[in-house]
């Protein structure tokens, strides 16, 4: 932890040096002594300290300074560090004015100049200031700081991005005192939120995830221009391929748009994955896989959106949204699937403000004692219901079908049935979401056509799956839903895909472009389970080796 600050402000260089010297002599081992020559200079220093999360124990300011008096300075300094203790340095002739200022800006003490000997006239006062400050228990904030509005979609997206990428952060409401202090220190107003402040004090106003990722130390740029294997997507299939590819000596880079783990990383608990009899959260499982891939030498790039794939001779080139690119001998498409949007009126406007896609773990504490509604009937929805049942007063699953058994694992159905605060409404669809600043209610329709409006503050959506493959080049064949076709599915009456130049059929996980493979949920006909995705990722590496050996 950094040392708390003792700040002195005096426009007389000789006085400034003298008091800094005396303070360092007594307090230098435990406190950082900072001196400024004017009120504006001292305020700049305080703003920087505020953004860095530093602490100010005491401020000693000269009463009579040009441009800004000590009283005016302390009044503004209190807005930034209200817990800091304050003292005025004054000449004998200004004693009465200094005493009056104590009542104006809540000054703790005044000190006459000169203060010789300091053991009698300076140190007892500073000791008292420090003791009073220590009693406040003001903590040092070393994490990333985020200032935003509670019911703001961009603010929620930033918190979710940091949480899913395991970046510790401290949240401040823009309408709360400390949030306003950080905005003031950065010279911004509430319109600039979310404000992200890095540990070194750099303020980022309404930044994109790529800028935040780079600022907080996540890897965003590839270390090389060419790789053996480029993996697009950091879910179980991509992570499985990264572990096996890097461990077998392939120069491997994994590119993830949002956060490593994908949809599986948002699962509150996975209980049917081999080797974890007591279950494991998706976040824990995929984070272990990320660290395992990094141990073997795979590069993992965060917050990089892929917008194109191009064939250039023997190279497969991946283009990014910022115009940069990376090339590889082979590419694995492991982008998984995205939750299908709920198209009911009002949902789009309230997304991030009470309506969420996936299991937003950052929202769990806010659900305490409230009713939570979950739309969906597959495993992801069931896992979320079990998770939120630990926080919410009641969890209601809204299922379009007539039974959970069609799409949810048996063990989850049994768990849900055993939870007294979880209920399931089958044959039910959401027809509208209501609310102004945030979600306030939802309208639903039952199978018999009966409609009802329910008070709701939190709605989590887990419906269907659509593959994010619109960015792929036309040469990569997809089915009518957008899933990538591979292997034997590419053969029509025994004929290979148009443009296929190799004297062999496509490998099992190979797409219609030689050297481009697909694994996991994005692949047409895949089994939508974590174990199968990991297996396909490993299998893809074996096929990559075969491809490299024959080309």
In a domain, 250, yes or no: yes
Residue 30 lies in a domain: yes
Domain final residue, candidates 446, 461, 476: 461
Least confident of 81-95, 391-405, 440-454: 81-95
Residue 358 has what pLDDT? Answer: 86
At residue 93 the predicted structure's pLDDT band, cuts being 50, 70 and 90, is low
Q: Count Cβ atoms within 10 A of the Cβ of residue 360 and give its class: 0-12 exposed, 13-18 middle, 19 or more buried.
A: buried
Same domain, 411 and 516: no
Do 389 and 475 lie in a common domain?
no
- Is a pLDDT exceeding 80 seen at residue 96? no
Dihedral in degrees, nearest 10, Cα atoms 449, 450, 454, 459: -20
Q: Do both 363 and 249 map to the same domain? A: no
CA 55 from chain center: how many Å?
26
Does residue 171 fall inside a structural domain? yes
152 located within any domain: yes
Domain identity same for 16 and 120:
yes
CATH number of the structural domain spanning residue 79: 3.40.50.2300
* pLDDT > 90 fraction of the chain, expressed in percent and rounded: 84
pLDDT of residue 354: 96
Residue 103, pLDDT > 90, answer no
pLDDT in tens, 450-506: 999 999 999 999 997 899 999 999 999 999 999 999 999 999 888 999 989 999 999
Is residue 119 domain-shared with residue 149, that is, in the same domain? no
Same domain, 177 and 262: no
Answer with the one of 164, 195, 215 that is the final residue of a domain.
215
Q: Write out pLDDT tens, residues 352-408.
A: 999 999 877 778 888 999 999 999 999 999 999 999 999 999 999 999 999 999 899
Token readout for 234 is 């950091």
Does pLDDT of 263 surpass 90? no
Q: Are residues 148 and 234 in the same domain?
A: no
**CATH code for the domain of 444:** 3.50.50.60
pLDDT at site 106: 82
Q: For residue range 531-540, what is the model confidence (pLDDT) as tens digits?
A: 999 999 999 9
Any domain includes 220? no
Asked whether residue 130 falls in the same domain as residue 19, the answer is: yes
pLDDT of residue 1: 58
Tens digit of each residue's pLDDT (9 = 90 or more) over 220-256: 999 999 999 999 999 999 999 999 999 999 999 999 9
CA distance 72 to 46: 15
Tell whether 221 is covered by a domain.
no
Check pLDDT > 90 for residue 161: yes
Mean of the per-residue pLDDT values of the chain: 94
The Cα–Cα gap between 322 and 91 comes to 60
- Beta pairing partners, 122: none
pLDDT value, residue 43: 97
Residue 331 has pLDDT above 80, yes or no: yes
Q: Concatenated DSSP letters for 402-471?
A: S-GGGTS-HHHHHHHHH-TTEEEEES-EEEEEE-SSS--EEEEE-TTS-EEEEE-SEEEE----B---TT
| Residues 115 and 186 reside in one and the same domain | no
Give the CA dihedral 95, 99, 102, 107, nearest 10 degrees: 40
Domain carrying residue 428? 347-461
Same domain assignment for residues 407 and 499: no
Question: How many domains, the chain?
Answer: 4
Q: In the prediction, which pLDDT does 355 show?
A: 97
Are 396 and 540 in the same domain? no
17-21, 136-140, 232-236, 421-425: segment of lowest average pLDDT: 136-140
How many CB atoms lie under 10 A from the CB of residue 417? 10
CA angle at 60 for the pair 56 and 61, rounded to the nearest 5°: 120
Residue 102 pLDDT exceeds 90? no
Average pLDDT for 527-550 = 96
Single out the residue in 397, 432, 461 at which a domain terminates. 461
Q: Which residues contact 9 (CB under 8 A, 6 or more apart)?
A: 35, 36, 37, 38, 39, 41, 42, 59, 60, 61, 62, 65, 70, 73
CATH code: domain of residue 202: 3.40.30.10
Query: Could you tell me the pTM of the whole model?
Result: 0.89
From first CA to last CA, the distance across the chain in angstroms is 55
Q: Please tell me whether residues 152 and 269 are part of one structural domain.
A: no
Whether residue 289 contacts residue 236, with contact meaning beta carbons closer than 8 Å, is answered with yes
């Amino acid at each position: 932890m950094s040392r708390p600050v003792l700040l002195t402000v005096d426009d007389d260089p000789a006085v400034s040096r003298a008091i800094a010297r005396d303070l360092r002599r007594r307090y230098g081992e435990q406190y950082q002594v900072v001196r400024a020559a004017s009120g504006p200079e001292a305020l700049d220093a305080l703003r920087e300290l505020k953004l860095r999360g530093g602490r100010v124990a005491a401020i000693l300011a000269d009463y009579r300074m040009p441009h800004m008096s000590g009283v005016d300075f302390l009044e503004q300094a209190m807005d930034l560090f209200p817990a800091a203790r304050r003292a005025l340095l004054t000449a004998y002739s200004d004693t009465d004015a200094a005493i009056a200022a104590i009542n104006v800006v809540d000054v703790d003490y005044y000190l006459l100049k000169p203060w010789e000997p300091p053991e009698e006239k300076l140190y007892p006062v500073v000791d008292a200031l420090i003791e009073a400050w220590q009693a406040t228990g003001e903590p040092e904030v070393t994490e990333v700081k985020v200032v935003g509005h509670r019911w703001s979609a961009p603010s929620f997206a930033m918190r979710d991005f940091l949480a899913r990428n395991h970046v510790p952060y401290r949240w401040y409401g823009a309408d709360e005192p400390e949030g306003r202090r950080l905005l003031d220190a950065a010279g911004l107003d509430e319109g600039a939120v979310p404000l992200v402040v890095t540990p070194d004090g750099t303020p980022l106003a309404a930044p994109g995830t790529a800028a935040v990722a780079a600022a907080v130390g996540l890897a965003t740029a590839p270390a090389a221009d060419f790789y053996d294997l480029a993996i697009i997507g950091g879910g179980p299939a991509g992570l499985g391929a990264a572990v096996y590819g890097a461990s077998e000596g392939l120069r491997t880079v994994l590119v993830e748009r949002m956060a490593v783990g994908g949809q599986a990383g948002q699962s509150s608990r996975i209980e049917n994955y081999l080797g974890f009899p007591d279950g494991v959260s998706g976040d824990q499982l995929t984070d272990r896989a990320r660290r395992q891939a990094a141990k073997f030498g795979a590069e993992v790039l965060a917050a990089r959106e892929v917008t194109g794939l191009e064939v250039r001779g023997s190279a497969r080139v991946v283009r990014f949204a910022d115009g940069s690119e990376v090339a590889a001998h082979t590419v694995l498409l492991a982008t998984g699937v995205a939750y299908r949007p709920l198209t009911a009126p009002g949902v789009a406007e309230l997304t991030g403000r009470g309506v969420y896609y996936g299991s937003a773990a950052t929202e769990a504490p806010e659900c305490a004692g409230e009713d939570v509604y979950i739309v969906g009937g597959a495993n992801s929805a069931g896992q979320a219901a079990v998770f939120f049942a630990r926080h919410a007063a009641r969890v209601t699953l809204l299922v379009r079908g007539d039974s959970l058994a069609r799409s949810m694992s048996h063990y989850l159905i049994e768990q849900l049935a055993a939870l007294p605060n979880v209920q399931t409404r089958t044959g039910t669809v959401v027809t509208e979401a209501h609310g102004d600043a945030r979600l306030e209610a939802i309208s639903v329709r039952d199978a018999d056509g009966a409609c009802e409006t329910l008070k709701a503050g939190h709605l989590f959506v887990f419906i269907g799956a659509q593959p994010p493959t619109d960015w792929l080049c036309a040469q990569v064949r997809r089915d009518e839903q957008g899933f990538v076709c591979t292997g034997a599915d590419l053969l029509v009456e025994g004929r290979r895909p148009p443009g296929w130049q190799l004297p062999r059929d496509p490998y099992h996980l190979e797409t219609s472009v030689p050297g481009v493979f697909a694994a996991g949920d994005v692949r047409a006909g895949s089994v939508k389970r974590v174990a199968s995705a990991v297996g396909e990722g490993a299998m893809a590496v074996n096929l990559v080796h075969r491809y490299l050996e024959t080309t």
